Amino acid sequence: MKKENRITIVSKNIYRGVKSLWKKYHFMVPLEIWKKEVRYLWGIATDRSPLINPMDIKKYNMWLNENKEEIKYKKLKYNPLISILMPVYNVEEKYLRECIESILDQSYKNFEICIVNDASTKKETLEALKEFEENEKIKIKYRKKNGHISRATNDALKMASGEYVALIDNDDVLVKDALYKVVEVLNKDNKLDLIYTDEDKLDKHGTRCYPHFKPDWSPDTLLSLNYICHLVVARTKLVKEVGGFTVGMEGAQDHDLLLKLSEKTDRIYHIPEVLYHWRMTEGSTALKLDNKDYANDKGKLAIEAALKRRKLGAKVEKDLPSTYYRVFYGVKKEPKVSIIIPTKDYADVTEACLKSIYEKTTYKNYEVIVVNNRSEEEKTFELLNRYKKEHKNFRVVDADMEFNYSRINNLAVKEAKGEVVILLNNDTEVITPEWITIMVGYAVQPHVGAVGAKLLYPDNTVQHGGVVLGMGGVAGHIFLNEKRDEIGIYGRMRVPYNIGAVTAACLCVEKKKFEEVGGLEEDLKVAFNDIDFNMKLLKKGYFNIMLPMVELYHYESKSRGTDMAPGKKERFQREVLYMQDKWGEDLVNDKYYNANYSLDGPFMLDRKKK
């Protein structure tokens, strides 16, 4: 990765900042926002930015040093035996030693190491193993024939006596308190079946780098990629019940196992701490996935097998730019979809939206409901009357009331004939012809709540790629102003993933789920009603999801204007306080982000943990 000098970095950020201020505010920017932007740019210029890029190796290690925490050990009442499964094959002696010693050095002592040597031919590997044979905490089996990682790990599973098993690669390293942290969680809830943690990598010099700060349990994200990876601790009985590791899935055997386990339990817990170091050695997938092309093919097979077991009519495609996967659910019988579009005049804007729907949409069973909120211009009525004459599936609902986005949409949903509703801004234009088919395929899944799409500015930069709860005080868009074809962190601009919230500028949801949570909150007339709606779905146990493969243009707030315009600021601040009072801590603890990430900048770290 080419290192940029400070002038280049500052210049790029100034350009992005000016572009963002124009798009969002047309330079009608409140003083406090100007101050924030200037402080941010000054911080970058002087290397005193309060935010740290975790992908900058030097700064990540600085952040680690500045945020070291002294652990206070508690006496644990529940001390289950943990069996650590370690298949070994021709690993360098120094890495194997470091791996085993990192386990033996654990602060939690009730563990055993089940090592299976998969017919290694390297003398140094065999000699290193021999030295550990007498250790009472280590069991070693020597396979006579190389059977590859699934067979070897299954042999280790047969040796396991523990209530739980932990998985480790033969050249990786556990943090000293990794097992203690896991058992500490089990002491709070010993019914948990699967626990996973954050991780980072070790480069060829042994320097920590490229951390993966993961979301909490995200079933749809797991169908796009193995985001869980390391460290995994699972109930032994359950691992055996699902048949252990599938022979033939080598390269994606862990992903396959996690998918199988998640079909048997939802008692899954995420520890948002880096407790595992994944070594970047030559030929390792930690270094580059291309080193194991077959792993990408096997990952697709693992997902297909999961969908088949679950009896879901879905297909999987490899997303080559990201090396991850996209799942598309089939819709055998198209449920009726009601597309709800509120409008007040701006006939040219509304017509561009309607034209894109009728000319591009491949889905057949839909109706369009335009909610007319006190339009005054003659050309608006001419447009609506023309569409009523031209399209049998077009109708108008009058909302003769002061503007209240929530009440307007709630009124329209009551009138909707569809089983699925799509809330859509009038200042959007469809890009993806299969947009309804893809979104409905997800919306009708029993566990899914709100379904969102990638929204683009006319210059093909991102306006909406998902929303992080708590960012900027209430909620903030991520990937704002990024290029349309960017991959995003862990493929999040390419493949489906679970998220805290999606914008109602284009939001798909089953009507029964909309009604179950009471629709949109009418006390929130303009801002944050969609965030509140998403959070109500989360509270009911649904998973919201972002679908980057569905794209629309969005001329953001063209007909409504900005919340910072004169006369609107006080109302906006009232709605901020409403959200903060109603949701409290839930608003700043987004399960699908990560507690380590900053709420001042997406996927960044605060210089000092808050």
CB 493 within 8 A of CB 522: no
Q: Give dist(CA 481, CA 23) in Å, integer.
A: 10
Residue 597 in any domain: the answer is no
Q: Classify each residue of 76-90 as buried b or exposed e, where b means 16 or more C-beta atoms within 10 Å of its C-beta.
A: eeeebebbbbbbbbb
CA distances from 521 to 343, 397, 513, 527, 530 (A): 19, 20, 14, 10, 9
For the chain, residues with pLDDT lower than 70 are 1-48, 282-292, 557-567, 610
Q: Could you tell me the end-to-end alpha-carbon distance of the chain, in angstroms, rounded to an integer?
A: 30
Residue 543 in any domain: the answer is yes
Residue 142, domain CATH: 3.90.550.10
Q: Are residues 284 and 384 in the same domain?
A: no
Phi, psi (deg, nearest 5) at residue 309: -60, -35
CB 330 within 8 A of CB 408: no
* Residue 376, SS3 per DSSP: coil
* Residue 497, SS3 per DSSP: strand
Q: Are residues 303 and 372 in the same domain?
A: no
Q: Give dist(CA 381, CA 177) in Å, integer.
A: 68
CB 526 within 8 A of CB 438: no
CA distances from 362 to 249, 366, 435 (A): 36, 10, 8
- Cα–chain center distance at 443: 17
Which residue blocks in 399-510 are alpha helix, DSSP H?
Answer: 405-415, 435-443
Q: Are residues 262 and 341 in the same domain?
A: no
- Quote the pTM value: 0.91
Q: Are residues 342 and 220 in the same domain?
A: no
Q: Are strands 467-469 and 605-606 parallel, antiparallel or unpaired?
A: unpaired
Q: Give dist(CA 503, CA 357) in Å, integer.
A: 19
Please enumerate in sequence order all residues whose Cβ is within 8 A of that of 158, keeping only pairs 6 or more positions apart, or say none.
none
Q: Are residues 297 and 342 in the same domain?
A: no
CA distances from 133 to 110, 127, 138, 485 (A): 18, 10, 7, 53
CB atoms inside a 10 Å sphere around CB 414: 11
pLDDT at 332: 83
Q: Give dist(CA 465, CA 169) in Å, integer.
A: 34
Domain count, the chain: 2
Letter for the amino acid at 255? H
Residue 429 in any domain: the answer is yes
Helix and strand numbers, DSSP H then E, in the chain: 18, 25
Beta strand segments in 255-347, E: 268-279, 314-319, 324-329, 337-343
CB 325 within 8 A of CB 549: no
Largest Cα–Cα distance of the chain, in whole Å? 90
CB 303 within 8 A of CB 469: no
pLDDT at 26: 47
DSSP state of 597: B
Residue 478 in any domain: the answer is yes
Residue 112 in any domain: the answer is yes
Give the residue numbers spanning the domain of 248.
Answer: 82-311
Please enumerate in sequence order all residues whose Cβ is within 8 A of that of 434, keeping only pairs 6 or more positions apart, or say none.
362, 363, 550
pLDDT at 41: 58
Which residue blocks in 67-204 are alpha helix, DSSP H?
Answer: 93-104, 123-131, 148-159, 178-188
Phi, psi (deg, nearest 5) at residue 579: -65, -45
CB 339 within 8 A of CB 430: no
Q: Are residues 475 and 574 in the same domain?
A: yes
Q: What is the pLDDT of residues 137-149, one digit of tens each?
A: 999 999 999 999 9
Residue 325 in any domain: the answer is no
Q: Are residues 391 and 275 in the same domain?
A: no
Closest C-alpha to 457, from 557, 345, 343: 557
For residue 232, give both structure tokens: 């995994």
Q: Are strands 138-142 and 366-372 parallel, antiparallel or unpaired?
A: unpaired
Q: Are residues 364 and 478 in the same domain?
A: yes
Q: Give dist(CA 424, CA 530) in Å, integer.
A: 12
For residue 275, give both structure tokens: 């407790």
Q: What is the pLDDT of residues 487-534, one digit of tens each?
A: 999 999 999 999 999 999 999 999 999 999 999 999 999 999 999 999
* Residue 450, SS3 per DSSP: strand
Residue 399 in any domain: the answer is yes
Q: Are strands 208-212 and 194-202 parallel, antiparallel or unpaired?
A: antiparallel
pLDDT at 3: 47
Closest C-alpha to 443, from 496, 372, 379, 488: 496
Q: Are residues 148 and 209 in the same domain?
A: yes
Letter for the amino acid at 60? Y
* Residue 387, SS3 per DSSP: helix
Q: Are residues 350 and 269 in the same domain?
A: no
**Residue linked to tokens 């211009």:** 377
Q: Give dist(CA 568, CA 575) in Å, integer.
A: 11
Q: Give dist(CA 130, CA 125) in Å, integer.
A: 9
Q: Are residues 279 and 427 in the same domain?
A: no
Q: Are residues 291 and 241 in the same domain?
A: yes
Residue 606 in any domain: the answer is no
Q: Are strands 448-456 and 543-554 parallel, antiparallel or unpaired?
A: parallel
